[in-house]
Structure 1
Amino acid sequence: MKRILFLVFLFIPALLSQAQTLLLKPDRVFDGEETHAGWGVVVEGEMIADVGPIAGLSADQVIEMRGMTLSPGLIEGHAHVLLHPYDETNWNDQVLRESRAERVVRATVHATNTLMAGFTTIRDLGSEGAGYADVGIKQAINKGVILGPRMLVAGRAIVATGSYGPRGFDPAFDVPLGAEPADGVDDLVRVTRDQIGKGADFIKVYADYRWGPNGESMPTFSKEELDLMRRTAESSGRPLVAHAGTEEGMQRAIWAGVETIEHGDGGTRSVFRAMAEKGVVWYPTLAAVEAISSYSGWEKGKDPEPTRITVKKAAMKVALEEGVLIGMGGDVGVYSHGKNAWEMELMVEYGMSPLHVMRATTSLNARTFHLSDRGTIEVGKLADLVGMTGDPTEDIKDAWNVTFVMKGGEI
């Protein structure tokens, strides 16, 4: 697949330099909401110029895409481009032992792999100890220095003092942390504003974490502290999003007005009902859970299902019953970048339809992240487009079959 993409990438710039408009002719177009057989898309510059039945479209050049579905560029809702799979190097050692230079170099490879997998936009949920390197990577992509998706970045993220890792060291030593601690009114306002000033597109807060008496997850910030961070972020036009896995942590985050909740393993029916009522979007990160379980020796289809996966499946069932908006975001970085479609496959396995998942990966993620210029195939939207052999709205496994990627009109 990568060879096909590379050859196309070499060929198309020359083609486009000779043409003002380009007609893409797949078997069908998934426009972000519905699938239309016999439709095509006309691209002019970096924008979509026309879309509809192929018989009514014309352009200077044509690309035949037989057997393919053309979709809006896929949007990854929960990534960590500065992490790599934990079975290669555990999280503590990535934060403490890998140099910033190594982590950035790895991230450039991750970014390329992500784009080649059809994901033209990602929301990166924290640099995990790498400062604002995510901001620099985003800028390098925007300048054309490296190949990668459009990025929304969180920067350092915010944790309560004493709650986050790496941990397990002599208390006499202060070790680098995976996120930035802040506490109390003045400090929370200052840190939120500082992260905004240094390039964060949104503010991520850990509403709970594994700091209970026995290492269990417990809430970190009060409702009032979370509300303060939300109001501070919103005053700059940025949302607050929350890592939350406990019932109480989720309840506090919902009350405070976060826009998305990440993980949510401990969600109850009342919690999911509140999310549905307030329009809070859930990112269950199913692939990360399965990846971590496999790193511990679990063999899917052979060994008994781990409790955490059973709990996640039950949460998905309740969330779907309550009408919660579920976005696509797998916590990629825990597993390999470029394998983002694994989350899509699991979303279907855990109860969603392929069409529902494709909407979650395109139009829903775009709306959730306030990206009005992408996520659907419409005139005037960015020409971020992906071609997949087969039809992922019928069989989600076809989301792996990416053979065409266009970002901003460039292939």
Structure 2
Amino acid sequence: MLFQDFRLFTGERVLHRADVLVSSGRVVAVGAGLRGGPVVRGAGRTLLPGLVDAHVHVVPGASRQAVRFGVTTQLDMFAEPRVLRVERAAGPDAADLRSAGIGATAPGGHPGQYPRFSAFPTVSDAASADAFVAARVTEGSDYLKVFASSAPGEPDLPTVSPEVVAALVSAAHDRGLRVVVHATDQEAALMAVRAGADGLAHLPFDRPPCPVFVAALAPVFVVPTLTAVESFCQVSHEVDPRVAARLDADALANLEDRMEPPPAPCYRPEYASEAVRPLRDAGVAVLAGTDAGVPGTAYGASLHRELELLVSAGLTPVEALAAATSVPARCFGLVDRGRVAPGLRADLVVVDGDPTRRITDSAAVAAVYRGGRLVSGRA
């Protein structure tokens, strides 16, 4: 298959006219004047690598919905094994799934307060950290998620101590797992970074970012989840009609919903968004993730809102697209995707318009390919 005469975002840079040759599910060549067939013509459209949502919580059906919006890989940050089995068996017409499985939290801690989660193992002390991580490896977790804080507005829930976080990080690293930490306040985030965590699953939004906080985050990657922060803070926005048209009634209702109860007054959405540009300037890797599954989100669809918010927060459109392609692939060791380059998976998205200049054009998904095979839309 030949994608001919496209504007191409490779995952790292823009080629204004390029051909991409695909064979046996892989990219064979990128250049000009390539030959092969059948041919998909660019005609002013943009070709992107398959998008990666770096923070979701899957439910049955999530991966099939996500792929319709160009999300070909989802990074799940807490799901029970029974749900993962369903989604991992969704087949080639659904987004690929990597997961932390069950996250590490204190007995009675977040997210155990939500009815959607059944009873799951917790970590009571540092001595039990190694066994907890070993059990996640046995279940097939691809990385470890640790809850170092509760949700905003729920300060009374127990959380794991710094000693437990450090023990979990050590046990995970000993087994070759990355560690991603849930921390919605700066104190918990700094504790996690000092314990050796690899990334933050949210940007804290309990106070304004300061230079000391930004500098402390330099060793890690961050997933701002500005979409979820909007929902926490009861911020509403108009749903893009191109997105709404692809959602069923239940998914659209969840997208238009907001989290309850309202968070504590100190939590403000601008505290997270104001941190994005300074973190970028400090060399911190910024990843696009949505927290899809919580009220105010929809699988796949919300990633386009997240890209818009990242640009509003100071990233360029090209940097935002990289945050949803090559950057999460690099940070999570997904060496076969995230870029359009010879030898990599032909996970590709055809978009009407030019999201490298107008990031909202990313929502105009015309066709989605996984492994070179059309799985959504029309070529």
TM-score band by shorter chain is: 0.7 to 0.9
1:389 correspondence with 2:352: yes
Alignment-derived partner of residue 149 in structure 2: 208
Q: Tell me the TM-score normalised to structure 2 length.
A: 0.83
1:345 alignment partner, SS class:
helix
| Aligned residue type for 1:70 | L
1:245 correspondence with 2:184: yes
Equivalent in 147, 160, 164 of residue 221 of structure 1: 160
Task: Please state how far the C-alpha of 1:271 moved relative to its aligned partner.
Answer: 2.5
1:274 correspondence with 2:226: no
- Does structure 2 retain, via aligned residues, the 8 Å contact 1:354–1:393? yes
- Does structure 2 retain, via aligned residues, the 8 Å contact 1:165–1:177? no
The higher radius of gyration belongs to 1
Alignment-derived partner of residue 68 in structure 1: 45
Q: Tell me the TM-score normalised to structure 1 length.
A: 0.77
Runs of 4+ in structure 1 off by over 4 angstroms are 165-169, 175-179, 298-301
- Does structure 1 retain, via aligned residues, the 8 Å contact 2:27–2:344? yes
1:38 alignment partner, SS class:
strand
Q: Distance in 2 between matches of 1:343 and 1:168?
A: 24
In 2 relative to 1, CA 299–118 (structure 1 residues): closer, same or farther, beyond 3 Å?
closer
Alignment-derived partner of residue 67 in structure 2: 115
Alignment-derived partner of residue 4 in structure 1: none
- Does structure 2 retain, via aligned residues, the 8 Å contact 1:134–1:153? no
| Aligned residue type for 1:261 | L
Q: Distance in 1 between matches of 2:323 and 2:273?
A: 18
1:232 correspondence with 2:178: no
Alignment-derived partner of residue 286 in structure 1: 226
Tell me how large the CA RMSD over aligned residues is. 2.5
Bigger mean CA offset, 337-346 vs 176-185: 176-185
In 2 relative to 1, CA 140–299 (structure 1 residues): closer, same or farther, beyond 3 Å?
closer
Q: Deviations over 1:78-99 (max 9, x none)?
A: 01122xxxxxxxxxxxxxxxxx
In 2 relative to 1, CA 59–321 (structure 1 residues): closer, same or farther, beyond 3 Å?
closer
Structure 1: 5+ residue stretches without partners: 1-21, 83-106, 170-174
Bigger mean CA offset, 234-243 vs 158-167: 158-167
Q: Distance in 1 between matches of 2:78 and 2:104?
A: 9
In 2 relative to 1, CA 217–48 (structure 1 residues): closer, same or farther, beyond 3 Å?
farther
Alignment-derived partner of residue 181 in structure 1: 122
Alignment-derived partner of residue 137 in structure 1: 86
Task: Please state how far the C-alpha of 1:320 moved relative to its aligned partner.
Answer: 3.6
Task: Please state how far the C-alpha of 1:312 moved relative to its aligned partner.
Answer: 2.1
In 2 relative to 1, CA 300–49 (structure 1 residues): closer, same or farther, beyond 3 Å?
closer
Q: Distance in 2 between matches of 1:219 and 1:258?
A: 20
Q: Distance in 1 between matches of 2:107 and 2:20?
A: 51
1:251 alignment partner, SS class:
helix
Q: Deviations over 1:2-35 (max 9, x none)?
A: xxxxxxxxxxxxxxxxxxxx11114311111111
Q: Distance in 2 between matches of 1:397 and 1:176?
A: 34
Alignment-derived partner of residue 154 in structure 1: 100
In 2 relative to 1, CA 398–113 (structure 1 residues): closer, same or farther, beyond 3 Å?
same
1:378 correspondence with 2:322: no
Structure 2: 5+ residue stretches without partners: 239-264, 375-379
Equivalenced residues, count: 341
Alignment-derived partner of residue 99 in structure 1: none
2:325 alignment partner, SS class:
helix
Task: Please state how far the C-alpha of 1:238 moved relative to its aligned partner.
Answer: 1.3
| Aligned residue type for 2:135 | D
In 2 relative to 1, CA 242–178 (structure 1 residues): closer, same or farther, beyond 3 Å?
farther
Equivalent in 121, 124, 132 of residue 76 of structure 2: 124
In 2 relative to 1, CA 384–239 (structure 1 residues): closer, same or farther, beyond 3 Å?
same
Alignment-derived partner of residue 262 in structure 2: none
In 2 relative to 1, CA 407–178 (structure 1 residues): closer, same or farther, beyond 3 Å?
farther
Q: Distance in 2 between matches of 1:62 and 1:36?
A: 19
2:58 alignment partner, SS class:
coil
In 2 relative to 1, CA 232–25 (structure 1 residues): closer, same or farther, beyond 3 Å?
same
Task: Please state how far the C-alpha of 1:253 moved relative to its aligned partner.
Answer: 1.0
Q: Distance in 1 between matches of 2:119 and 2:4?
A: 46
Identity across the alignment (%): 29
Task: Please state how far the C-alpha of 1:327 moved relative to its aligned partner.
Answer: 0.7
| Aligned residue type for 1:140 | A
Equivalent in 266, 273, 276 of residue 313 of structure 1: 273
Q: Distance in 1 between matches of 2:83 and 2:44?
A: 37
Alignment-derived partner of residue 18 in structure 1: none
Alignment-derived partner of residue 245 in structure 2: none
1:38 correspondence with 2:20: no
Q: Distance in 2 between matches of 1:219 and 1:273?
A: 28
| Aligned residue type for 1:122 | Q
Alignment-derived partner of residue 299 in structure 2: 337
Q: Distance in 2 between matches of 1:363 and 1:126?
A: 23
In 2 relative to 1, CA 41–244 (structure 1 residues): closer, same or farther, beyond 3 Å?
same
Q: Distance in 1 between matches of 2:286 and 2:157?
A: 24
Task: Please state how far the C-alpha of 1:168 moved relative to its aligned partner.
Answer: 10
Task: Please state how far the C-alpha of 1:321 moved relative to its aligned partner.
Answer: 4.3
| Aligned residue type for 2:215 | R
> Which structure dedicates a bigger proportion of its chain to helix?
1
Equivalent in 194, 199, 202 of residue 263 of structure 1: 202
